[in-house]
Amino acid sequence: MSSQTLIYIILAGIIALLLALFQYKYKSKSTKRNSLFAFLRFLSIFFTLLLLINPKFENVQVYSEKPNLVVAVDNSSSVKHLKQDSKATAFIESLKGNKALNERFSLDFYSFGSALNTSDSINFNEKQSNINKAFRGLTEIYKNTVSPTVIISDGNQTYGNDYGFSAKKYKQPIYPIILGDTIVYNDLKINQLNVNKYAYLKNKFPVEAIVVYNGNEIVNSKFIVTAGSTTIFSKVINLNKSNNAQVLNFTLPANRVGVQSYRATIVPLNSEKNKINNSKNFAVEVIDQKTKVAIVSTLIHPDLGTLRKSIEANEQRTVAFLKPNELINQINDFQMVVLYQPNNSFKSLYAKLNSLNKNKFVISGPKTDWRFLNAESKTYTLDITSQTEDYQAILNTNYNTFIIDDLEFNSFPPLNSSFGEPQFDVPLETILFKSVNGIETQEPLLATFETNGRREAVLFGENLWKWRAQSYLNQRNFNNFDDFIGKIVQYLSSNKRKNRLNVEYESFYEDNNNVIIKAQFFNKNYEFDVNETLNIIVKDKNSGTTTTFPLILRNNNYQVDLSSLSASDYSFTVKATSESISKSGTFKILEYSVEQQFLNANVTKLQLLATNSKGKGYFISNPNPIFNDLIEDERYKPIQKSTKNTVPLIDWKYLLFLIALTLAIEWFLRKYNGLI
């Protein structure tokens, strides 16, 4: 409270006292009760003046805040494979039941596999482990707190960046509880198998296998590749402690169209403890043609390289860069043409494309010659101006030609293009709308249309390379953006008629990856129908078992996760409930558990985490010392904090009650004594 407010309160008291004395001592006849009346009147006036002054009081609350103890549990199946699951569960229960530890810390439990989750249940059945992602998530949650972290793990990571780097950014002491032992067993394993996803009929496709040996003896074995019961490749392997790895490069023939399955095996040693990692299945889809895409431009721009990388991310496609006059004589060698910022030098090429009714993807920008393009294009025009504009992208969730996933387009940098609204003379379907300065418009930024049996896509903007870079920042890979461009290329490379039911799936999946099948259903006007019920009937070709799963609506498509299916060959049919519309296909799930490839805990890596973070590592066989170490560590004392709230007197409701009470008592007494 300020000194000025205190002076006002003193003056209010003097004024209230003078008014009360004036009324009951000076103006009224002196009676025994006048002093009581004056006192009541003094209180009424003083409290009223206090409300007008409205002084503010500070309310200080002092409390103790316990540090957090973060417990992150590796929920991957490698823990169960190493037979450490029961020990891990018992240790978690001992943490929860330790009274001294709970009095000292606030315990927060998490589990991690492919992602970081709050620890509702631990079952050690996750197919992948990404410790790097777990540390990144914990860094965001506990960046400004005191939160020593107990990580219960074998230290084996199956994918993601090296978690040693992300742990350095995690500014908390780390206490690994190591699940496993340091005993070295003799072990042969296929550490890595590299093979292309696609091969071409009557060609040979390359395979690279990396075989690794852990042990001290000299060993001999044989590496074989089988297709069914037939051995198609074999080689003798000699390894020892110093020469403990060998890279095998060989080729296999592609003699049949379709998905071909193979099994690579390194014959196990008699003394091996883990024989699961001696074999690995792989598959190749054999196709009899390759989609060739021509990118035509007279400019040098980073968009061209971006388009090539995205298109060739699918090995079924190849890209060639050509000038307009170079393509004319070899145009029949390409299934699709990308025209980047066309100008008058494209005149002969446009005539050829129109005569052949060829599909094309036109990308315009500030360097596009719109006088030329307005004259050559019979389907759309743009007013010619010298102004440019930056356009943000907004996804059209009702786009129904093919399935488009939301790549967080609203987070992408804007594309630069000529100012103006394009006018179309044919029906079009917009994939992306323009947004200018945060204002959404109905103008197309990216659209597709069909006319006279020809398909075309047009993008009004350059700097696609920024989109691919932003996609990487959002997802930590280029896959989503490359798939987006790939779907446009696939649409333009085919002239198949539009279907009301579209299904998207892979020819084969690895057992450790999610098996996701997506579908879109459209009504008779080809508008996406969110009210339809879709079911998928999946049949195991080997066992004959049939299972039905519902597809769940997510954003602009229906999805089903079939990751629970075991490795086998499957056929499926997606059916609509309200109409007799269905679509069928086949896929294969390859048997492979990456989590079962480990024989030991990664002790060195986990101990290094503890050392670098000023923590300490413990083995699950003797974890009890961690309780005393955490409780006695002076870094983790409770912190005394206080909160100060400034409360104005006008918020104190009891003061109004006191004013009313004093006035009421004064009136009642005066009435009782006949003074009113």
**Beta strands across the sheet bearing 568-576:** 508-510, 582-590, 568-576, 534-540, 546-550
Residue 116 has pLDDT above 60, yes or no: yes
306-337 pLDDT per residue, tens = 999 999 888 778 899 999 888 888 888 888 89
Q: Which residues contact 665 (CB under 8 A, 6 or more apart)?
A: 40
* Residue 289, pLDDT above cutoff 60: yes
The model's pLDDT over 442-481, given as tens digits with 9 standing for 90+, comes to 888 999 988 877 888 999 989 999 999 999 988 888 888 9
For residue 169, the 8-state DSSP code is T
Task: With a cut of 90, say whether residue 574 has pLDDT above it.
Answer: yes
Q: Mean pLDDT: which of 26-35, 161-170, 527-536, 608-617 is highest?
A: 608-617
Flag whether pLDDT at 599 surpasses 70: no
Residue 173: its pLDDT value, please?
A: 93
Unique residue bearing structure tokens 């418009």: 441
Determine the Cα angle at 639 with ends 70 and 93, to 5°. 30
Backbone dihedral angles phi then psi of residue 583, each to the nearest 5 degrees: -145, 135
Determine the Cα–Cα distance for residues 417 and 388; give it in Å rounded to an integer.
5
pLDDT the model gives residue 308: 92
Instruction: Please determine, for residue 131, whether its predicted confidence score (pLDDT) is greater than 60.
Output: yes
Q: Which residues contact 456 (CB under 8 A, 6 or more apart)?
A: 359, 360, 361, 362, 379, 448, 449, 450, 492
Average model confidence (pLDDT) across the chain: 84
Q: Is the dihedral of CA 405, 411, 413, 415 positive or negative?
A: positive
Task: Report residue 596's pLDDT band, with 50, 70 and 90 as the boundaries.
Answer: low
More confident residue, 2 or 343: 343
Pull the structure tokens for residue 468: 């691919």
CA 85/CA 70 separation, integer angstroms: 19
Q: Are 179 and 619 in contact (CB under 8 A)?
A: no
Q: What is the per-residue pLDDT for 502?
A: 84
CA distance 395 to 375: 30
Query: In this predicted structure, what is the pLDDT of residue 546?
Result: 92
pLDDT of the residue at 1: 62
The band of 63, judged by pLDDT with boundaries at 50, 70 and 90, is low
Query: Domains along the chain?
Result: 3-62+644-672 (no CATH), 67-180+600-637 (3.40.50.410), 187-287 (2.60.40.10), 291-492 (3.40.50.880), 501-594 (2.60.40.2950)
Task: Write the pLDDT tens digit of every residue in 403-438.
Answer: 788 888 888 999 988 888 888 888 888 889 988 888
Non-local (6+) Cβ contacts of 6 within 8 A are: none
